A and B are shown apart, each in its own frame.
Chain A
Amino acid sequence: MFLIVASLAIASALLMILQKNPVMSAIYLIANFFCIALLYLLLQAQLLAVLQIVVYTGAIMVLVVFVIMLLNLGDETKLTEKFDMKKIISVVLVTGFLIEMVYIFGFSGDGIGRMPMSSQAANLGTVESMGAALFTRFLLPFEVTSLLLLAAIVGAVVLARKQS
């Protein structure tokens, strides 16, 4: 199960960056987000899986698609068309990065990678435990985040206003 979802996620991500039409990119990203939500479920984080779909795909991607429509953007040139030095170096660099990351996460550390899933995992991801944690230990960040959201709203309105 994990393998299927994982490969779907990787595939959609790859496809996303290779598209020339920005709307198609957005759609592939939405697919990617769904896969990630499924992965969250596999990890027994139910609340967050739902939140992923509601917030990320439902709100953020909708916003992105709206903006793409609003700006009426055309197609970009395909990624594989132009081969200039910059792209080659970027690819090389990124490959190196990938190797490093995989090495770090996969094969280093003192066997962390082979840790079994915790027995508490199922209890952790529920709405109750998340809520309990949010309103006790993490109350301050919670409140501050609401302020942050307020600031973001005001900022967005101000920035996107028509200059009159």
Chain B
Amino acid sequence: MAHQLIGYAVFLPLLGFLINGLVGRKLRSENLVGIIGSATVGIGFVIACVIFFEMMGSGVEERVHIVHLFSWISAGSLNVSFAYQVDQLSVLMMLIVTGVGFLIHVYSIGYMHGDPGFWRFFAYMNLFIFAMLNLVLADNFLLLFLGWEGVGLCSYLLIGFWYDRKFEKGTTGDAAKKAFIVNRIGDFGFLIGMFLIFVTFGTLNFQGVFAQAGTMSVGSPVIFWMTLALFVGATGKSAQIPLFVWLPDAMAGPTPVSALIHAATMVTAGVYMVARCSLLYALAPATMEIVAIIGAATALLAATIGLVQNDIKKVLAYSTVSQLGYMFLALGVGAFAAGLFHLMTHAFFKALLFLGSGSVIHAMHGEQDIQKMGGLKKYLPITYWTFFIAMIAIAGIFPFSGFFSKDEILWKVFSNGTWGLWLVGLVGAALTAFYMSRLTVLTFDGEKRWGSDKHPHESPKTMTVPLIILALLSVVGGFVGVPASLGGGNAIDHWLEPVFERANLVMALPGHGMETIEYVLMALSVGVGVGGILLARLWYLKKQEVPQQLSTKVPGLYKLLWNKYYVDEAYDAAVVTPIQKSSETLLWRIVDVGMIDGLVNGLAKFFGGVSKVIRMGQTGVAQNYVFVFLLGVVVILGWLIAH
């Protein structure tokens, strides 16, 4: 059966990592390194497709397989093995990871051409794919966590890939550290959640946990804390409030890294994890509310920040944070399938946007400030058109993929009765359309704002072909989720239904609302999307003085947005600096130097002192030695006589 090939699919990228990591530098041929790196992922994609088709052909009950590789930890009551749960959800994630990953690997062959760390890049990327596959395929929490940590590590390695480059106020290494540390804070929450799960259910295995959870009652406090702790981990990995601050800084890494890790895959790990634990979240309505509110708030907050950013990658980074907020919003109201649908379409068009921006940056020889671009559509036609398609998709215009997924989410939020959140989502959609259009216009349209020192030209085929493929997917990718109201069968919802069956039973979702309302909402969201696009085109192409005037009329608001609400500064003052200062004074000076060093040195000094006294016995006069000798003999003889 095809699902038994899963082991190969997961471990081939690891092999790629080892090959490229150990001998990549000596291979001397960029193409060979690139081919090895891409092929491992490509083969994984092929295997995923085979498994997928086999699943489609088999009955619904036979679609879940557990493939056991080897036993990992067996200690007391804790039994964890390297085993993969091949079901609808994990196969979907696997297709996304390997498919988009493969395209990005191919793109990187062109993008990273000439870089001295070429081999290192592909090694890290393969390691990342390995970790991510472990994450989405794991059948227990611990293996998931292994992948979770692994992708965090690879994120660190890849963000700081150009380790000697400056980035904003520090180096790329600082950005990488920030990502890792903020992730770690979230991971602490994840660990607490895992401990609670083990204590409550006695196992870390998904099937075991969910079987027992089915017997628990809704609203029990332990499940609340468990799911909340896991969600903290998700906020760290998926850049939600309050742990989103690392994602914009992560743009210090090469653009393919941003596309793969910080758009399509790693940041979606939190969404996947919550979806996988849908039953647990269904049993904790309070946590679901928190998830939804945070998702909506993040979506809005990030969108507002993205309005005024001038770095092409920063805008896309905040856009990612915002779209992830939408996914969590969906999860929070119980629309798990919708959230995952949006995850898939977002992977397509966000990866496309990042890769396109990479093409632009490549053509402009490293320039990333959109205020210094403009008029590039003449020089980079393929990049322009694919970027444009992606922009329309993310704005949610019918019939592109983003429309179906985002609309599904908004519809589910509305019919859940949470109109406030729906409104926030709608406003967010409008802002999304606006700032994405602004980005496109400032980059590609209008007059060129750059000098004759730049010679932009279209990128090579290894870079443009993935762009085209992703654009195609952005166009047609939505058709797997056409809702019933528009005559479709909502294939993706049905596909994922068995995974969320138990959760749906617990939640007793409200039934489908009136179809007319659904049409109204659809029209509204398309309307605000189109409106946002057109307004941006108006302001930035024709009436360019309007945004200028706005920024001078409300300088306070503009500054607030431009400085990202001063969140970084707040964290720095409240958390980072106190910890640093207290570590330095207390832990370093007092404990480390004073106590530990003092103890070690003191011990040495003590022995020195003792030996100084004892060595006085060596007088060098032989008679003294004879004297002592005799003394000993006398004592021993006396003892022998006495006994």
A residues sitting closer than 8 Å to B (CB atoms) are 90, 93-94, 96-97, 100-101, 103-104, 108
Taking a contact as CB atoms under 8 Å apart, the answer to whether B638 and A100 are in contact is yes
On whether the beta carbons of B637 and A93 are closer than 8 Å, the reply is no
| Other-chain contact of A90, B627, B633, B637, B641 (Cβ < 8 Å) | B627
Q: Are A93 and B627 in contact (CB under 8 A)?
A: yes
Cβ-defined contact, B627 with A100, below 8 A? no
What range describes how many residues of B lie at the interface?
under 10
Given contacts A90-B627, A93-B627, contact A104 B634 (CB under 8 A): no
B638 contact set on A, CB distance < 8 A: 96, 100
The reply to whether A97 and B633 form a contact with Cβ atoms under 8 Å apart is yes
Give, as a whole number of angstroms, the nearest-CB distance from B625 to chain A: 13
A104 neighbours in B (Cβ, 8 Å)? 637, 641
Chain A contacts of B634 at CB under 8 A? Answer: 93, 96-97, 100
> What chain A residues lie within 8 Å of B627 (beta carbons)?
90, 93
Interface string of B606-643 (1 = CB under 8 A from A): 00000000000000000000010011011001100100
A contact residues around B633 at 8 Å (CB): 97
How long is the Cα–Cα vector from A104 to B627 in the complex, in angstroms? 21
Residues B630 and A93 in contact, CB atoms below 8 Å apart:
yes
CA distance A100 to B633 in the complex (A): 10
A93→B631 contact, CB < 8 A = yes
Q: Which residue of B lies closest to A100 (CB)?
A: B637
Shortest distance from the beta carbon of B269 to any chain A beta carbon, whole Å: 83
Give the docked Cα–Cα distance between A8 and B447 (Å). 133
Q: Can you offer 20 A-B residue contacts whose CB atoms are under 8 A?
A: A90-B627, A93-B627, A93-B630, A93-B631, A93-B634, A94-B630, A96-B634, A96-B638, A97-B630, A97-B633, A97-B634, A97-B637, A100-B634, A100-B637, A100-B638, A100-B641, A101-B637, A103-B641, A104-B637, A104-B641
Closest partner residue, chain B, to A90 (CB atom):
B627
Given A97-B630, A108-B641, output 19 extra A-B contacts at Cβ < 8 Å: A90-B627, A93-B627, A93-B630, A93-B631, A93-B634, A94-B630, A96-B634, A96-B638, A97-B633, A97-B634, A97-B637, A100-B634, A100-B637, A100-B638, A100-B641, A101-B637, A103-B641, A104-B637, A104-B641
**Within 8 Å CB of B641, what residues of A?**
100, 103-104, 108
Complex Cα distance, B640 from A101, in Å, reads: 12
A108 to B640, CA, bound (A): 12
| A108 contact set on B, CB distance < 8 A | 641
A128 to B: closest C-beta gap in Å: 39
- Contacting residues, chain B, for A93 (C-beta < 8 A): 627, 630-631, 634
In whole Å, how far is A79's beta carbon from the nearest beta carbon of chain B? 14
Residues of B within 8 A of A94 (CB): 630
The residue on B at minimum CB distance from A86 is B627
A52 to B627, alpha carbons, bound, how many Å? Answer: 29
Complex CA distance for A60 and B638, rounded to whole angstroms = 35
The distance from the CB of A82 to the nearest CB of chain B, in whole angstroms, is 14
**CB nearest to B638 among chain A residues:** A100
- State how many angstroms separate the Cβ of B213 from the closest Cβ of chain A: 87
Q: How far is it, in angstroms, between the C-alpha of A96 and the C-alpha of B627 when the chains are bound?
A: 13
State in angstroms the CA–CA spacing of A131 and B634 once bound together. 39
Separation of A96 and B632 alpha carbons in the complex (Å): 12
How many whole Å from B630's CB to the nearest CB in chain A? 6
CB distance from B380 to the nearest CB of A (A): 94
Q: How many whole Å from A94's CB to the nearest CB in chain B?
A: 8
Q: How far apart sit A100 and B638, CA to CA, in the bound complex (Å)?
A: 7
Contacts of A90 in B (CB 8 A): 627
Q: How far is the CB of A86 from chain B (nearest CB, A)?
A: 8
A97–B634 CA distance with the chains assembled, in angstroms: 6
Q: Give A100 to B632 CA distance when docked, in angstroms.
A: 13
Query: Which 10 residue pairs spanning A and B have beta carbons closest together?
Result: A100-B637, A97-B634, A96-B634, A93-B630, A93-B634, A100-B638, A93-B631, A103-B641, A100-B641, A100-B634
Q: Give the residue name and chain of the B residue nearest to A103 (CB).
A: B641
Q: How far is the CA of A85 from the CA of B243 in the complex (A)?
A: 83
Task: Point out the residues of chain A lying under 8 angstroms from B637, CB to CB.
Answer: 97, 100-101, 104
- Using Cβ atoms and an 8 Å threshold, which residues of chain A touch B631? 93
A60 to B588 CA separation, bound complex (whole angstroms): 73
Q: Tell me, in angstroms, the Cα distance from A108 to B633 when the chains sit together.
A: 18
Q: In the complex the two chains form, what is the Cα distance from A147 to B99 in whole Å?
A: 90
The proximity string for B residues 336-367 relative to A, scoring 1 for CB distances below 8 Å and 0 otherwise, is: 00000000000000000000000000000000
**Bound form: Cα–Cα A103–B630 in Å:** 17
Separation in Å of the B632 CB from the closest CB of chain A? 11
In the bound assembly, the distance between CA atoms of A23 and B641 in angstroms comes to 39
Of chain A, the residue at the smallest CB distance from B633 is A97
Report the minimum CB–CB distance from A98 to chain B (whole Å).
Answer: 10
State how many angstroms separate the Cβ of B600 from the closest Cβ of chain A: 42
State how many angstroms separate the Cβ of A148 from the closest Cβ of chain B.
Answer: 23
Chain B residues whose CB sits within 8 angstroms of the CB of A101 once the complex forms = 637
* Least Cβ–Cβ distance between A62 and chain B, in angstroms: 25
B412: shortest Cβ distance to chain A, in Å? 104
Complex Cα–Cα for A160 and B641 (A):
45
A30 to chain B minimum Cβ distance, whole angstroms, is 24
Residue among A100, A101, A104 with most chain B CB within 10 A = A100
> Smallest Cβ distance from B594 to chain A, in angstroms?
47
Smallest beta-carbon distance B206→chain A, Å:
84
What 1/0 flags go to B213-246 for Cβ under 8 Å of A?
0000000000000000000000000000000000
Chain B, Cβ-Cβ closest to A96: B634
Kindly state the separation between the CA atoms of A68 and B630 in the bound complex, as whole angstroms.
28
Bound: A101/B630 CA distance, A? 12
A97 cross-chain contacts in B, Cβ below 8 A: 630, 633-634, 637
User: In the assembled complex, which residues on chain B have CB atoms less than 8 Å from the CB atom of A103?
Assistant: 641
CB distance from B227 to the nearest CB of A (A): 86
What separation, in Å, do the CA atoms of A104 and B637 have in the docked complex?
9
Interface string of B188-205 (1 = CB under 8 A from A): 000000000000000000
